[in-house]
Every structure is written in C-alpha cells, then in structure tokens.
Chains A and B, each alone.
Chain A
Amino acid sequence: MRKKTWLIVLILAVFVVPMYAQTVDEIVAKNIQARGGLDKLKKVNTIRVSGRMVVGPGIEAPMVIEQKRPNQMRLEFTIQGMTASQGFDGKSGWSIMPFGGVKDPQPMSEDDRKTIDEQADFDGPLVDYKAKGNKVELLGKEPLEGTDTYKLQVTLKDGSVRTFYLDADSFLEIKQEGKRTIRGTVVEGESLLGDYKEVEGLMMPFSIEAGTKGSPQRQKITIDKVEINPTLDDSRFKMPEVKKEEPKPEDKKAKP
C-alpha cells in the first residue's frame, strides 16, 4: 500500500508541474488518495478503534472509539475498572462519568455537543468539503518541526477554524490545530498524528498526541486495533435510559 501511494504521488509529482502551483482541490484530492481513496473511504460505514490513552505520567486508560456514518460517535475509557462513556447520535450528546458515584447518563452542554458533532464527521472535514459547507484555503507550504507541509485552513460550516498540516511527501495529515469556543472563551487545541498503517486499504494513524496549545501537558493515544465495518447498532450512540431500580455499573465495561 505504501509503495502504491508513493507511486501515485510520484506520478502526480512528475506529471503535475509545476508542483508549487498546486491548488487546494489537488492537495485535498491527494490527501484523500493517500488515505486510501474516496471509494474505499466511502465503503466504510462503521469503525471501531481500540487502544489506550496516557493522560498523565504513568496514568493509562484503555479506550474505544466507535463511529458510524454519517455522524454518530461513542467514546469509552476505563480507569480503575470504571468505564466512562460519551456518545453522540447525530443530534444530541451525552456522557456517563461514573468516577464520583453517579452512573446516570447526563446530557452534554451545547459547547461540548458541538465539539463531538464535529469529531463525529465520519470522513473528516476535507472529504466533500464543499458539499458540507466547509471552506478550505491553502495557507502555503511551510515546515513543521523541520518537515515540509501543506498548511490548509478549513473553515467549518459553523465558522470555526481548523488548520491541517499535510506532509508534503505523503499528503497525510501530521498535525491539526483547532479552536473551540467554550462559554465565549477560545480554547486552542492541537494534535499530532503519526504511525500510519494500512487497514483494509485505508491509511490510519495509530499514534495521536493531543493537548491544549501552549501547555506542555499532552494526552497520548496509542491505537492497538482498528476494525472496519463492525456491527454497531444505532442504540450504542443514543443516550441510555436511566435504570432507576437497579443500576448495574459493572456491566458497562469497554468492549475490547
């Protein structure tokens, strides 16, 4: 797969001259191609990603992210055997944070809902960006930690801005920056992506490092397994009903 991608890149590099005159659409197309191509991406309807999060020195939490087209999402992570979950069914978001003795699902705030809504965009904001109402602008070619990248600024339909850094050789995303507004205050986040591996013809990052811009604290996510098109019922993404009579928290463990 890697060879194939490079071959495509090479062919493009040789025949599409001059290189620097690349348009946004060409770069977006190459990114999609590098990820496996639109056909393969579109054939994915559900995905489950399992791994672990390192949230502090020595503190690890197993985690699972499930997504279903077009924009349903569920995240679970486990600390001391207790599993927290967050979900979004395409309309509303919810979360269960069991660590303080309450295991009932709670609705998400509007700010959090927007964030998960955006994360739930199944193919990411570059795929079909025009149809989605996103704007993409090429800010130029610039080095990221000494590696040449194409810097794309994506203005989402709701006006929020994301910046993608695509490795200039592979056209894969190696960094993303974003701003979120929480209670009227802008929070800037960034994540680095790496360890790309092929899964059923798709190039997936197996290493993600995320944090708030300017802060040395980082969450590291290591992916162990990616499942393409697992069976995921819509009910997994809906807010669970509160079972008032007999809560069984221990039943809500992360599925491996």
Chain B
Amino acid sequence: MKRLTLIVVLLLILIGSLGMPERTSAQTKVSPAETIKLDSEMISGLGARSIGPAVMSGRIASIDALVDKGRLTIYVGSAGGGVWKSENGGTTFKAVFDKYNQSIGAVAIDSSNPKTVWVGTGESWVRNSVSVGDGIYKTVDGGDTWQFMGLKDTERFARIVIDPTNSNTVYACATGHLWDANSERGLFKTVDGGKTWQKVLSANDETGCAWVTMDPQEPKILFASLWQFRRTPYSFNSGGPGSGLFKTTDGGATWTKLTKGLPEGDLGRIAVAVSPSRPSVVFAAVEAKRSGLFRSEDGGESWHEMNSGNEVIGRPFYFATLFVDPQNYNRVYKPSTGLAVSDDGGRSFSGIGGGVHSDFHALWINPENPEQIFVGTDGGLYTSLDRGNHWRFIANLPLSQFYHVTYDMEQPYNVYGGLQDNSTWYGPSRAPSGIQNRDWRSVYGGDGFWAFPDPTDPDYVYAEYQGGNLARINKKTLETKDIKPFPGAGEKKLRFNWNAPIALSPTQKGTLYLGAQFLFRSRDHGNSWERISPDLTTNDPNKQKQDQSGGLTVDNSDAEAHTTIYTICESPKNPKIIWVGTDDGNLQITRDGGKTWTNIVGAVPGLPAHTWVSTVEASHFDEGTAYATFDGHAAGDMKTHVYRTTDYGKTWQSLATPDLSGYAHVIREDGVRKDLLFLGTENGLLVSLDGGQQWAQYKGGDFPKVAVRDIAIQPRESDLLVATHGRGIWIVDDITPLRKLTPEILSKEAAFIEERPAAMIIPASEFGFNGDAEFVGRSASENAIITYYQKKRHIFGDLKLEIYDSSGKLISTLDGEKRRGLSRVEWSMRMKPPKVPPAAGLVPNFFSFVGPRVLEGTYTVKMIKGKNTYTTTLTLVSDPRSKHTKEDRLLQYQTALKLYDMLGRLTYTVDAVVDARNQCRQLAGRMPEGSAARQQAETLAASLEALRGRLVATKEGGGITGEEKIREQMGSLYGAVNGFEGRPTQSQLDRMTALGKEFDSMAAEFEATAQKDLPSLNASLEKEKVPGVKVMTRAEWDKKQETK
C-alpha cells in the first residue's frame, strides 16, 4: 500500500512537471473520515511514565542466576511484571521481556551458554489473582530478542531445566490450565532447542507438572511431580489421582512412580530436590492427607518422613519448592509463608527471617558461595550474605501489583491504590528529583484494594484489606478506625469479595458505598451504614462453601469468597441511579436510590451465564448510558467482554472487536469527550475514540504488555492513571490531545493539537546520592508540551518549531519529533543561554547555564514542516503553588534580563579585549626586537591582559581556585536571580547596580585604551607600513554571534 502511495506521488510529481498540476488534487483528496483505521502508533506518541513504586515491589515467581568472570548475572521472573535482568549482582535491573506476556512461571539460564535463557510464561503459584501465560520463549542474545518456542496452551510453567551437557535438551514443567481442563500440560522435552516438543510425563487433563529437578551429575536422571488441581471463582481443589512423584533414568523415555515410604491415597502438590553434592539424597515436600517432608537416601527408591511441621506443609498450592545447599547435602531450604531451613537433613526446621516480606516462591543459592542467597517473595526480591539471617531488599523492581487506582486534588496530586499482599499506598504524581521509593507512604495492612482520599477531609483516606475490612485512616498520624458494617441480629455473616468494592458518590460529597451481598451506603464517614438493597447476588449456596475449599489442604482465606458485589457506580448525572455488578454475574440497577432494583444481565447478548461483572461505569453524559466489562477467565473463558447500554440496561451492545485480547478488567469513559473510552484487559490498555467501534492498543513510553486492572482520570490535570497488576502505576500526562483527535485531524498530513496550559513548575531540586540500586519513577515534565499529529513519519527537510512572544519576537527554535501519529515536543520556556565570556572555569551556578524563563501568557508556535507552516498558540501559566505576585515575577524577569544583557556586554568586552591583545601580541612578534613599536605593542598587550584578569577569573590548573572576578560575580548573581521566580532581594538589586558600575568603569578603561593608547601604537606601526590594531565593534561581535 505504501509503495502504491509512493508510485502515485511519483507519478503526480512527473505529471506535475509536465504542466498538469490540476491533477494533483487527486492526491490531496481526503478519504472519508470513518474509514480511517485507528492504530497503536497514532496515539502512542503520548508517552506514559512509570512512577513505580518499587518500595514494596511485587510477587516474584522464579529466579535464576549465574556467576561469570566474577560478575553475577540474575534473571528474575515476576508474577505479573515480566522478566528483569541484572548484570551487576542485583544493583540495577532492566526489563527485558516487555513486549511479551508479563506473567512468568519459570526462568532458566543455560549454564553452558549463558546468553541463552528460557522463559516459561504463566505463573504456577495459582492464587486467585494469578494471570495466564501463552507459552515458552527463548533468547540467545541475553534477552535482547526473544523467540516464541511453542507450548502455547500450557497456560503456566513451574520450572524449566536445561541439560548442562547439551543446550538443545530442555525439560519444561507445564502446570497447565487452572480454571478448566486441557491436554497441553505435563512435562515436555525438546532435543532440538525448542523446535519440537514431546510430552514425556502426564496423567490426565486436570493434572499438570508441578516441579522437575535434574541430577546435576547424571542429566538423564530427573525427578518430576504431577499435580491435579482446579480453581473456580468460588473454590480451589488441590489433589487427586493424577498427582504423584516420578523418576526417570533415561531422560524421560520411561518413568517410575515413587511410592515407597510416601503417603498413600490421593496426593497434592509435591516439591522435589536432588542434593547437588550427593545426588543419592533427594528431598520431597508432599501434600497429602498427612503432608510432610520426606527424604530418600537411595536416589528416590525409598522415603522417610522427616518433618511435618507448619514450616514444610503450609499452603502447597502457593509454596511448592525445596532447595538443597549446593555444597552441604544436609542443608535444605523450604520456602513457604516463612523461609525455613534444616541443617540436619530435614529432621528439624527453623524459620529464618529478618525484615523480609512473607510468602517465599523462589530461591537461588550461589553455588560458589552458599552464604549468598536470593529469594523472591510476594514483596519482591531480597538478598542475604549470611544464609538468610539478614536481608537486603532489592529496591529496584517496580513490580507492584495494583488492583485499583484513585487520586486526590492536592498540588501535586497523589495517587492511591491497594496491592496484592502489599497493603495500600499513596505517592505523588510529580517530585523534583523523580518519584522515589521514599515518596510513598503506606496507610494500612493486608492485601490492599480500593482506597479513596476522603473528599470532605484531605487528611483522611478510606482503605480496606481483604474481606471488606474497611477503615478510615488519618494520613498524618496513621490512626486507624475500623468502619466495617456488620450483619443484623441473627443474620448470617456478610459476604465480601476478596476485592470488595468501595465507591464514592460523584454527586454527594461524603457519601460512600460499600458492597457485600447487599449494597451499603454511609453519609457519616462510615460511622453508620444504611443497607440500600436486598441481596443482589444469586446467593447460590453451592458457591458459598469456602470453609471446605482447598482440597487436601483446606485454604479459606477470603480469596474464594463468592456471591458478592464486585463493582458499584452511581450515575454522575443522577444520584438515584446506581449500577451494581456481582462476581456471580448479576448486573443490577436502581433508579430510585436503592428502593427497587432490577437485574438487567439477561439483556446482555452473547454473554455466558454467571460471568463475573468486572466493572460497571455510568456515563458522565447521559443517565441511561453505562458501560460494563465481564471477566469469565475464572470459568475458562478468556474472551474480552465489553458492552454499552443507552437505555438503562434494557438493551446492550457489544463493543468488542477482533483487535481485543485478554479478559476485561475495567472500562472508563472520559469525562470530557463522550466517545473516548479506555479499556483495561489482562493484555494491556486500549483506547477508543469512537465509542468502542475501533480500539487501538496503547504502547506509549514503553508501556509493557501488562495486565491493566484499573484506570482513572485526574480531572484537574487530565492525566490518565493506569493501575497495572505487576508494573505499578503509569501516568499518561494530559490526555487533552486524545479528546481533540478527530477523524478530520487523522486525515490531515499534519496538525497541531491542543494541550492543557503549561504550568511553569517552581524550579527545584533535591540533594541526594542514593546510588543506583533504587528505582526512581519518572516525574511529569517541567517543560511546556507541544503536541501535533503527522500522518507519516517526517524524513525529508526541516521539521522545526518556532516559538514567538506576543510582540512577534522569536524566542526559541526547537527540533520537532518525527514520528507518525501524535508527537510531543518539550520546550523549556527559556530564552537561549546567556553569553558568558571564557575564563578559567564554569560559573558554579546551575541557573547561570540557562536563559531567563519567559513570563506567563500566550505564545505563538509555528511548525515548519518542509515547505508548510502550521500555527497554534501555547498558554503558559504560573505554578499553582507559586505565591509570587505578577509584579514580583515581572521584576525578577526584568532583573534577570538586565543581568543577561550585562553578561552579553561583558562577553563582548572580554572578546574585544582578547582580540585586541592578540593583535598586539602578533604585531609585537613582527616588529624588530628592541624597536619602540614592539615595546609599545608588548606593553599594550600586557595591560590588556591585565584588564582581562580583572574581568574574568584566569587562575588555571584546578577547579577550586575560589577566584571571582566580574564574570563570576555577575554570572552567580544572574544564576541566583534566574533560579528564584519571585521578587529578587534588595541586596541582589543593589549588587546588580554595584557590579554594573564596576563593569562600566572597566569597559570605560578599555574604551580609553582604544582611544588613547591604540592610536599612538597604530601611528608607530604605520611608520613600519604595518596595518594597525583594530578594535572589534559591538556590531561586528553581534554579527559573529549570529553566524555561530
């Protein structure tokens, strides 16, 4: 198609040159707006920024590492945030898997070929909130590029092992589907580097591989466990006839089921580990009716129960690993809720701890130094240099798994949200030195979900932990008041979802909703609650047996709580209209403030019964309009279900297109442009400009293919806040351009698009040298942003932006961004840097390097794109936090400008002095030795050099001479005035006058020299027929500056 366009263009050019220009109109004919296909790259030029946080990080599923030439390379596979690589032992990390599925089950480095790394997608720690994978991947260049290597339908991997003697032989332990049966599960083997796979161990369609371990000395000997398991929205089952522990001695061709000494009956999840230093010793943690830790001393033939304490039997579905010390076969680590270790071959275990997050899923022991350990937990990665007695948190992994995001109205505003096993946090949307770990505060405990700053009192925040445990917390003192409602007398307990919905009324400040099976409303900060609905769920008793959930090991943590309300939305147009969705598939509406309710889910076409309602979003524009997403993944339905109604739910239209993928978590309608919709699915963020007819995947600013759980729009800043479940919070600053991006603009070659007015953020910086080991989130730009759209990438000729002030004076010229679609260019709002004369060193003040920042007001922006010019305006406003009056700011600007001009004059003077001195020196060299002319020239050169030495610092040979002359004094004063955009101090103003006088007298001296001494020298020179010294004029100097 492109090529065709090119041909057309070329033909037109040729025809044009033959004098048939009228034909060119065919080229510029605009195609009908509705046919323009919205694609990713049209919108992704609006970059997103990751603000972390990494302070609590997120769940780690797998770790592998390798010591190579004294440096430690680490790969970390996270539950929802992709693969991260460190080449410096964990000081810094970079994401290497962002374009692919971010749920990682297993990472494995090929020890004989360290640039080859395998990644099995889909986490195997199958908690309620776990994601899904899409196969196995391989890199052969250390993570730069990845190849898909198949096993697409396995959904999740527990482990990958590579034959240390043959890189092409790889075993992949595929756990398989969690929410339904499937056949692509079990232990797979490739002998051709992943081109083909053979399933070498399996049982049935409900059973997958739980672990595999290889004898490090005999790579044909492997132990593997199979596990039968299933999760539903309301239950979990671990265990069944498919489970078992197996051994092969022929590389997987034949397997022996190991039973001697192991528990009888159905087994559950089994962890198994061979001792590297004595492979005949094998350990297994076996889930059974009586779970325990077992040890074999004969290579798995027979087993003995060693221990059955909590440290080794807890939550096998979530913790099923064992690691034996590489040098001591009696030391075995059991990661679990805590981390336990046995130093006596498994007989006794003791918990090791320190300040480390609970829930250990991954562990790596340095084979060359077993004192060094890395662990992966629900709260990120830690390392220990004393076998786990003390830990260092790796504060560089922004893997935070948010469930929701909200905001407040402070300056700058804060974002709030709750995370998987990591409480509720809030942090700023901008900070002078980037958004750092220390900028985040936690306000509660447990697993966090919804959090809302109290709109009636910004010191308070509502937050919750699992099971509807709602509290109102003072942000300053952290005093916490439990405000959960209770059942009435004789009633059964309230049923709250794991992720129980809280909602603020958009129309009534101070009104709060909370969903159990009933909808509750409070108008007094949660002090009392009105029940404003009957049970809105199916109340199906078969889905309320959580006390029996778990299978062999009962696990009733609220994670399977069901038949509960999951989403609540009051109409911004009418407080009597409230929409409610439940986890068991009811979608209810009241139009009378809760007196009567109607279940409208039956009107949703093409939706499987009882599909979880993940969001309902009432329109900002019309009370009968609402949007809903449904998430069927917990029943094995991975489709994207997204709908809209315009008649109070009587009828629904699907907004799904073939471009969508991933089960849907959230839909949000923009509050300004009706047809601008944002959709979050397990596979990322999508944007529609036309009410859901077309969707484009958003990829701006390296936004990964990560699960998007919630979306909010900060209305004052028009910022899009994206809560990811594995990569923290991302902000797309100012979505005004998406509101203005019309089909008409999309059909143009290029066009400016409006932005919000640019605030001139108070210049500020923080001191800090924290090393490289801490994540720093990107702050919002402090520059003015200019946005435009281009139909095609700009390649030939200029693409420049010129900024003019209201008098038409050109202030700045900027290079334009070339990309196709929306582009953003940043302008510092500053004039060119001041002219500063050369001297011994730089003026040590940052603001002496930059020009004065212009005043607030409206500026004209011209885009010169090849032969075309486009014009728009740009409005600059002061920082809303700034307390300076316009008069003071004007005085500051004028003072800075005066000093700026003085520096210019100083530069001219110094340049002219140096130029004259050089001429004198040169001429002196041409005069005969001892001649009067020569002596005159030398004297003059020396006096000019002396003058220079009073104008600028000239002491060479080191940075800290402390020498200050006019240049340094004037430069520092300029910097000080330039860096503070309020009224300059009286001392500064006086100093400017004084410096001006000092400088004027030196400039006068130079002028006097030029008028007095030079003519006499030039007269002597004339006698020798040598042209005299000529002083450079300001006009000549100015001209030189222009050509520079």
Contacts and interface: CB of A to CB of B under 8 A. Distances in A.
Q: Would you call the interface of chain A mostly helix, strand, loop, or mixed?
A: mixed
B275 interface: no
A206 B826 CA distance: 19
B42 interface: yes
Residue of A13, A62, A207 most packed against chain B (CB within 10 A)? A207
B959 A100 contact: yes
Interface string B71-98: 1000000000000000110000010000
A37 B820 CA distance: 28
A101 B957 CA distance: 5
A111 to B, nearest CB: 16
Q: What's the dominant secondary structure at chain B's contact region?
A: loop
Interface string A67-89: 00000000000011111000000
A159 interface: no
A201 to B, nearest CB: 15
A207 B2 contact: no
Contacts of A146: 39-42, 44, 793, 819-821
A218 to B, nearest CB: 10
A81 B835 contact: yes
Contact of A80 (B793, B820, B848, B1043): B848
Given A19-B3, A82-B838, A247-B956, A196 B41 contact: no
A82 B958 contact: no
Nearest to A59: B849
B45 interface: yes
Contacts of B840: 101, 249
Given A6-B6, A195-B798, A185 B87 contact: yes
Contact of A79 (B41, B42, B849, B918): B849
Contacts of B850: 57-59
Contacts of A32: none
A131 interface: no
A7 B13 CA distance: 10
B914 interface: yes
Contacts of A79: 842, 849
Given A101-B958, A103-B956, A249 B838 contact: yes
A33 interface: no
Interface in A198-236: 206-207, 209, 214, 216, 220, 222
Contacts of A186: 87
Contacts of B458: none
Interface in B805-863: 813, 815-816, 818-821, 826, 828, 830, 832-833, 835-843, 848-851
A81 B71 contact: no
Interface stretch (A23-31, A40-48, A120-128, A164-172): A164-172
B716 interface: no
B838 A250 contact: yes
A102 B955 CA distance: 10
B103 interface: no
Contacts of A250: 838, 914
A224 B6 CA distance: 29
Contact of B957 (A102, A206, A254): A102
Nearest to A194: B818
Contacts of B1040: 256
B576 interface: no
A145 B793 contact: yes
Contact of A102 (B49, B828, B956): B956
Interface string B896-928: 000000000001000000100010000000000
B856 to A, nearest CB: 17
A124 to B, nearest CB: 17
Nearest to B852: A58
Interface in B512-565: none
A147 B792 contact: yes
B971 to A, nearest CB: 8
Interface string B946-984: 000000000111111100000000010000000000000
A19 B798 CA distance: 30
B11 to A, nearest CB: 9
A118 interface: no
Given A82-B838, A174-B795, A251-B918, A102 B71 contact: no
Contacts of A54: 815
Contacts of A10: 6-7, 10
A254 B1041 CA distance: 12
A60 B71 CA distance: 39
Interface residues of B, number: 69
Interface string A174-190: 10000000001110000
Given A57-B826, A58-B850, A197 B815 contact: no
A53 to B, nearest CB: 11
A193 B813 CA distance: 18
Nearest to B821: A146
Contacts of B139: none
B929 to A, nearest CB: 19
A60 B842 contact: no
Contacts of B796: 2, 170, 195-197
Interface string A151-171: 000000000000000011110
Interface string B17-47: 0000000000000000000000111101100
Contact of B815 (A99, A101, A168, A222): A222
Contacts of B7: 10, 13-14
A195 B799 contact: yes
A140 B44 CA distance: 23
Contacts of A143: 41
A128 B585 CA distance: 66
A18 to B, nearest CB: 11
A207 B864 CA distance: 14
A137 interface: no
Nearest to B9: A6
Interface in B134-154: none
Interface in A1-25: 2-3, 6-7, 9-10, 13-14, 19
Given A57-B782, A80-B838, A249-B956, A195 B815 contact: yes
Contacts of B59: none
B247 interface: no
A60 B828 CA distance: 11
B1039 to A, nearest CB: 11
Contacts of A184: 71
Contacts of A167: 793, 795
B794 interface: yes
A10 B782 CA distance: 45
Nearest to B953: A101
A192 B813 CA distance: 19
B386 to A, nearest CB: 27
A13 B3 contact: yes
Contacts of A249: 838, 840, 956
Given A10-B6, A103-B956, A58 B851 contact: yes
A192 B2 CA distance: 22
B195 interface: no
Given A81-B838, A196-B797, A216 B6 contact: no
Interface string B83-127: 000011000001000000000000000000000000000000000
Given A101-B955, A184-B71, A207-B816, 10 more contacts: A80-B848, A99-B841, A99-B842, A100-B842, A101-B841, A146-B821, A185-B88, A194-B799, A206-B798, A254-B1044
19 contacts: A9-B6, A10-B10, A57-B783, A57-B828, A60-B833, A81-B838, A101-B958, A103-B956, A145-B41, A146-B40, A147-B792, A148-B2, A174-B795, A192-B818, A195-B798, A197-B797, A207-B815, A251-B918, A256-B1043
Interface of B: 2-3, 6-7, 9-10, 13, 39-42, 44-45, 49, 71, 87-88, 94, 702, 778, 782-783, 792-799, 813, 815-816, 818-821, 826, 828, 830, 832-833, 835-843, 848-851, 907, 914, 918, 955-961, 971, 1040, 1043-1044
| A-B pairs with lowest CB-CB distance, top 6 | A146-B41, A58-B828, A58-B850, A58-B830, A81-B838, A100-B959
